[in-house]
Structure formats: structure tokens, C-alpha cells
Chain A
Amino acid sequence: MGKTIAEKIFSNHANKDVKAGDIIIAKLDALMGQDGTSPLAIKVFEELGGTRVINPEKVLLVTDHSVPPPNEGVANLHKLMREFAEKYGTQITEFGEGVCHQVFMERGLATPGSLVIGADSHTCTYGALNCFSTGVGSSELAAAMYTGKLWFKVPSTVKININGKLPKGVVSKDIILYLVGYFKADGLTYKAIEFDGETIRDLSIDGRATITNMVVEMGAKAGIMPFDEKTKEFFKNIGIVINNGIEADKDAEYESIYNFDISNLEPQVALPHTVDNVYPISQIEKIKIHEAFIGTCTNGRLEDLRYAAQILKGKKINKNVKLIITPASKRIYMQALKEGIIETFLNAGAIVTNPGCGPCVGTHQGVPADGENVISTANRNFKGRMGNNKALIHLASPLTVAASAIKGEITDPREFLD
């Protein structure tokens, strides 16, 4: 019987033939920890009596969730991370380099066919580059630094084919919001997802990463994109030559196969307070907006900023709206500067913050007021997520968020596109 991509990657890393359902120990290629999870991992590593980190050059620690530090507690935890990186020789980001998942990809740590874990639930993002990456907790990050390995249950795979030409004003965020609404928050728990189809093949790596980023919102362990010329190009641009990826066998055994045609998909919006509470924009009644946020590991990439700029160019945002824009990395920020995108945002009335997670997790940089409606390009809209449990968070694409910031209410971006 043939193998899925997940079964192939786990077989390669367990040094034996494995299939879905097997409990295995696998060698890891690269590890990631951010500032909300690394400090606890460092504490656990010390409790284990660790004296060296296995392959420290493949371990990246990132200060992104609260950077620059908004209080002394965070500043001290960042210091702990810097001291650990120095002592054990791991990689650590420069201050304000960007969101962990974007920086991890830019540094070339997630390569096709590799097995990666990160102490952040959105570690599944790197599947956009045809690898198996999944989120773990701090203890497992510590155990992985200590042993270079981790135990896994090889997941069964669900194949999702997406076909059709994306309509005007509809982007990859709308596809993944639609899928989360379809499968619901626990619909694909413990599964690996293989994505394919002409729509997926047409998407850029940025667009694919938006989709793989959010597979965890359906409970999935990983989402894996096909390897193609776009993947090669991505690595070429960061100075790495990669010619081969992992493909599933023709006779691979899938738990199920879904086919979606998105030719008639509308822009989608997730209403408060769950990510799977998704509606097409035409079905949403008028909702006034007080805060709009464009950024995060879901939608803070260059393509996303270009989409937002396309809508905001030459326009002013509504006077009752705070628009916060956070590029996902310094590299993206600098390219956006060159393209005049940042100037467009500032002229429109936005605040552009330093790269990082921004207000997504409610630690700083844009906590909404009581009763305020927020529209955001992030991946979660849980009550209290942005630091105030009396605010209401709506999720949408960068196009929809930009259009909504101009009108001051949730707005179909097609109104602004010719």
C-alpha cells in the first residue's frame, strides 16, 4: 500500500516503515520556541538537568508576542531567552525581527520533507513549504532540545482538493475561513491534511501559508502543501537550492477525500467568539467597526500588505476606526517600505507598528475598549483574545479588513475593486 506525505516524512525520520496509527519515536530536524512558551521550556530543560542542546543551530528562539517588552515581567523573560541562546548556541531573533513562523521560514529552517516542532500552535504554518510541522507545549520543546527526538502517533491523512478560479476580492484567507466553518473547530482533530488542486497550485507561498497556518483551528495536526516551482523559488530567494519535495504515492490511503469548488466563493467573515462561526459577507448585517487590525502569522506577509494597500491607496479610513498594521517580519516591512506600501498606510490614517504579533494576543499595541467591534486578519477571535473580554472580534481577509476600516463597518471589499 502506498504512503501519504505524512507517512513518508515519519518513515524517513523514524528509520522504518510506518503507517497511520503507529506510535513512533522520530528524529526532529528543527525546533522553534516563542516568548510565551520558551521561558517555560528553559525551566523544564533545567529541571531535566540538560547540559547541551542537540543540534542547537537548528533551534530558533523568537521574541515576538510582546516586543518591545511592555513591562518588566516580559523584559526579564526575554533576557532569560537571550542568556539561554548564548549559553547553548541556539539561534535567537534580533529584536523586532518578526513573528516566529515568518522568521522561521525566512531563515530556511523549514525545508521540504523535514519534520519540525514548535512551541506554538500555529507551527503548522510551515506545511506551506511541504514539510510536516506541528505545535507542541513547552515540556516537549525542552525534551526535544534534550534528546533531539519526540514520540508521535502517525496521523491519518485527509485530502482536500480545491479547484476553481478565485473570484475577484476573494483570497486564500476566505478559503481557509470557509473550510474552518465547514469542518468546525474539532472536525479534523489529530489529522494531517494534504492540500492540492488547481486553486492551491495557483496560490503563492504567502497565500498557502495563510491556509496551513489555520489548519489547527479545525484541530488538525498538520497541513501540507504540494512541492512545486513556487516552493523552489521561495528557497532560491533566501539562498537555498532545493530541487525535490515529498509527494504522496498514487495509491496512498486517505481517511477521506474532499473536493471543493471555490469559483463562487464570497469573502468570508468569522463572527465572535469562535473561529468556526463563519458566514459569507452577503449574509452579515451591518456591523460598525471601531478597530481594524492587519498583520499576524496568518496575514502579515507581503502579499497581504499589498492587498491592503490596493484598497487603502488614496483613501482615508473612517474617523471612528483605529487601524493597526503590523508587518510579519522586518524583511517584509523593508520591502513594503520600498514599494511605498507603508506610506500608503500612513496616508490612509493607519498606525504601522514594529514587526511582531502585535495586538493579536492582547499583550500590547492595540487592546480594544469595552463593547468595541474589531475586525482582524488574525486566526482567533476568542472572547478576551485581544486583552479585553468585553470586545467582539471578527476575522476576515486583508482586503475585507481594509475595506471595513474605510467605511467604518464590515464591508465587502469588492465595493473597492474594479
Chain B
Amino acid sequence: MILKGKAHKFGDDINTDYIISGKYKFKSLDFNEMSKHLFEDLDPEFYKKINPDDIIVAGKNFGCGSSREQAPLVIKYAGISLVIAKSFARIFYRNSINVGLPLLEADTDKIDNGDELEVDLFQGKIYNKTKNITILSKSTFPDIMVKILQAGGLVEYLKKEGDFKI
């Protein structure tokens, strides 16, 4: 699975309140509408800067805080194809895989805002086209996560398997 897009760079400890503010998540289940508020508290214009398949790149502990699954869903509905971070918070990590939003853990210091990236997801290879360097991911998904991601998310996985299987 090859993903290509432009990097949008963020810092450390980006919490799920920043991804989608609580004041929106309680009102609605319309994720197309909610995705217009992605990262609104950090950059009110962020939504307008996204092109389809763009990639979010961040520092450590991305997705900390609230368990809201709206966070990875809103990222996905905004057209983001992948999130690469130095590390992820536990609940966000599981939620993303469950809604079919791919994640990679990697050293993101050599990726700047606007860099063009080409990523081989299952090989964990990130090619920074702008800087002509390759970064290797340190992600290792347990088998069950690979199966959920390959199915396209938890719903599709459970429909196919009927139950959790190891």
C-alpha cells in the first residue's frame, strides 16, 4: 500500500481536543461537517489547507487525552491518508486502526511542513521526496491489528470473522 501526500507538521502531545473540540463532538454524527473543524483551536484555517491524501506528521504522544473516536474519524474524513508520529497515545492508536486510519511510528525530525512524502505502509518506508531521504518506521503491528487494518476497520473485520480471533 503506497500513500503519497504533502506533510502537515505538528509538535509533541497533540491531544484529541485539538484534533476535534468537545463542543462539536457532542452535537452530531456528521463527520463531513465536523471535519471542517479539524485542528481549529490550533489553526482555524487548517481545513482549507488540506489536499486529498495529505499526511499529518507529528512529534511524540500524538492523540493523547480523550477517547473520542471522532478524532481519527475527522482526520480520515478531512482526506488525510496517514498519520506519522514519534509515538502515539494508546486509545488513539487503537481507535485509528479500528476506523481504518493508518498510522506509522517514526523519527519525524527530518520531515518539515510541506515536504512531499511517499510511504510504503506495510514496509514502513517513508521516502521524503523533497529532501531525498528515506526514513524507516519502527512500527510493528500485532497480527490482529494488521488484520483489522487490512479489512478496512473493526466493523469490516468483525463482519468477516464473526468474532475476535487470534
Contacts and interface: CB of A to CB of B under 8 A. Distances in A.
Interface of A: 23-25, 35-37, 39-40, 43-44, 47-49, 65-66, 71, 73-74, 77, 119-121, 123, 135-140, 143, 146-147, 149-151, 153, 185-186, 189-190, 216, 219, 221, 274, 361-363, 380, 382-385, 387, 389
Interface residues of B, number: 44
B70 interface: yes
Given A120-B67, A137-B94, A219-B90, 13 more contacts: A44-B154, A48-B158, A66-B26, A73-B26, A77-B26, A120-B66, A136-B67, A139-B95, A140-B94, A185-B13, A186-B13, A383-B42, A385-B17
Contacts of A36: 22, 25-26, 66, 68
Given A73-B28, A363-B26, A189 B87 contact: yes
A25 B17 CA distance: 30
Interface stretch (B46-54, B57-65, B112-120, B127-135): B57-65
Given A36-B25, A186-B60, A382 B89 contact: no
22 contacts: A23-B144, A36-B26, A37-B67, A39-B29, A43-B29, A49-B159, A121-B66, A121-B91, A137-B68, A137-B69, A137-B99, A139-B99, A150-B164, A151-B166, A186-B61, A189-B61, A216-B91, A274-B13, A361-B23, A382-B17, A382-B18, A383-B17
B139 interface: no
Contacts of B18: 382-384
B68 A71 contact: no
B90 A137 contact: no
B29 to A, nearest CB: 6
A92 B42 CA distance: 36
Contacts of B13: 185-186, 274
Interface string B155-166: 100110001111
A71 B24 CA distance: 12
A385 B65 CA distance: 11
Contacts, number: 144
B153 interface: yes
A194 B144 CA distance: 28
A184 B84 CA distance: 21
Nearest to B60: A186
Nearest to A191: B90
Interface centre among B42, B67, B89, B154 (most CB of A within 10 A): B67
B64 A186 contact: yes
A18 B105 CA distance: 27
Given A23-B144, A185-B13, A382 B154 contact: no
B65 A380 contact: yes
Given A189-B87, A274-B13, A25 B164 contact: yes
Contact of A119 (B67, B153, B163): B67
Interface string B72-106: 01000000000000010111001100110000000
A137 B26 contact: no
B110 interface: no
Contacts of B95: 136-137, 139-140
B155 A137 contact: no
A149 to B, nearest CB: 6
B149 to A, nearest CB: 13
Interface in B1-36: 13, 15, 17-18, 21-23, 25-29
A362 B22 contact: yes
B85 to A, nearest CB: 11
A362 B67 CA distance: 16
A254 B163 CA distance: 32
Nearest to A379: B65
B109 interface: no
Contact of A147 (B61, B69, B158): B158
Nearest to A119: B67
B67 A147 contact: no
Given A44-B155, A139-B98, A380-B65, A73 B27 contact: yes
Contacts of B64: 185-186, 219
